Amino acid sequence: MGKRVAVVGVGMTRQRSSRPDVNGQELIHEAVRAALADAGMKRDDIDAVVIGNMDHFEGINYVDTWSVDGSGALMKPIMKLTTGGTTGSTVAMAAYYHVASGLFDRVLAIGWEKNSESDTTGAIITAFDPFWDRPIFAGAVAGLALEATQYMHLTGATEEDAAYVAVRERRHALNNPFAHLHINLTVEDVMNSPYLSWPVKMGDMCPRTDGACALVFASEDLVEEFPNQPAWILAVADRHLWAYTSDPYVNQALENGWWFPALEWAAREVYDKVGVREPLKEIDVAELYLPYSFAGLRYMESLGFCPRGGGPELVRSGATDMGGECPVNPSGGVMSSNAIGATGLLRVAECALQIQGRAEDRQVPDVRLALATGFGGCFWSDVLLMGREKPERSRG
């Protein structure tokens, strides 16, 4: 049986549009140093390092070996994982399995990106098939716009419904000193912002960000050593289903009304493992990878927070605001900071802080159960459930 695993140290850089004052290794180092200090550790205490980003955003191959000056992996095991937008959550899951395996007791997970160093859309387009997709595809913004169009068509949701999500995320970010965007937007501001790719407007999208995040994962045998309360990983799951950018639309139709199968199936797996039946009631806070506003409607439905088509009503009800039944993205989420390789890991970091009661101005009271997700690839999903109480057994 595997070890139970907790997050015991959190480090992040301030998320910024551009960090020309540091190179990539130095940016990574900032987050690593913060995480080690937070966990009261020295570099020598780390048993292994897991790192992730997307190669073509910085144009650096073999980032695991390149990063050593900053990651602290000198003469240690380091492994790179990359799965696109889900990279950060993938890294968190890999760190979890490193510790759960019993082979490593203290593992550093690092996610980072310097989006300022390239053309983000240009780099993302290279994720898609050079024959079928690449000549036409226009990157994440336009890809998400396809989803938004379909969502509105199927549910009757409006652009204004989505704007409420954008406003909530930016309002929450005002409480987070690490967030990239600190702007107070109104629904009108979002509605009046220019179209990037119809129906997606500037105000609906995440920014391009430079930033890094590092977490320390520790085995149940050692959690007493650390100054922070452990934030336990209760369950993790992912689904990466498709190979071509138009496949997800197919599967929705074929799987008899599955809305977003990758997210639904992964969520179902972690809910079953932990025994969650009514997510909205039972989960105290959610840090979700919502790369744009419409995701804040549709993905809530896929996660079982409301019935299909119920996203707009849920968001307008205030249930996902600070003080609501289940605040979503108290950090401001992806729409306020998106250093892609760091983004999924930041969701886990924020859940850890919430569980530990250390989220300061963005703290939700008495968090016992927190949900983190990663989104990316071709509508792929990673899902992690975290909690305050040590689980009865390991059930990754």
| Interface with another protein in residues 106-125 (CB under 8 A) | 114, 116-119, 121-125
DSSP state of 205: B
Which residue stretch of 306-314, 330-338, 363-371, 388-396 sits at the interface with another protein (rule: CB under 8 A)? 388-396
Beta-strand relationship, 231-239 and 380-387: antiparallel
Q: Give the residue, chosen from 183, 186, 221, 244, that forms a contact with another protein under the rule CB under 8 A.
A: 244
Report if residue 198 touches another protein, rule: CB under 8 A.
yes
The pairing of beta strand 106-114 with beta strand 285-287: unpaired
User: Nearest 10 degrees: CA dihedral of 76, 69, 224, 227?
Assistant: 170
21 binds another protein (CB under 8 A): yes
β-partners of residue 5 are 219
CB closer to another protein, 102 vs 365: 102
Question: Burial, 307: exposed, middle or buried (Cβ in 10 Å; 0-12, 13-18, 19+)?
Answer: exposed
By CB under 8 A, residue 35 contacts another protein: yes
Shortest distance in whole angstroms from residue 219 CB to another protein: 11
The mark string for 263-302 relative to another protein (x by CB under 8 A, - otherwise) is --x---x---------------------------------
Q: Which is nearer to another protein, 185 or 202 (CB)?
A: 202
Among positions 149-188, residues that touch another protein (CB under 8 A) are 149-150, 153, 177-178
Smallest CA-to-CA distance from 143 within 378, 303, 381 is with 378
Q: Based on CB atoms, which residue is closest to another protein, 72 or 332?
A: 72
CB contact at 8 A, 181 and 139: no
Instruction: Write down the least CB distance from residue 392 to another protein, Å.
Output: 13
**Short-list 365, 340, 383, CA closest to 55:** 340
Q: Of residues 254, 281, 317, 390, which one binds another protein by CB under 8 A?
A: 254
| Residue 43 vs residues 69, 181, 216: alpha-carbon distances, Å | 12, 32, 11
> Which neighbouring-strand residues pair with 235?
385
The token duo for 326 is 């289940």
Contact between 101 and another protein per CB under 8 A: yes
Question: Considering only residues 57-96, where is the footprint of another protein by CB under 8 A?
Answer: 58-70, 72-84, 90, 93-94, 96
Q: According to the binding rule CB under 8 A, does residue 135 interact with another protein?
A: yes
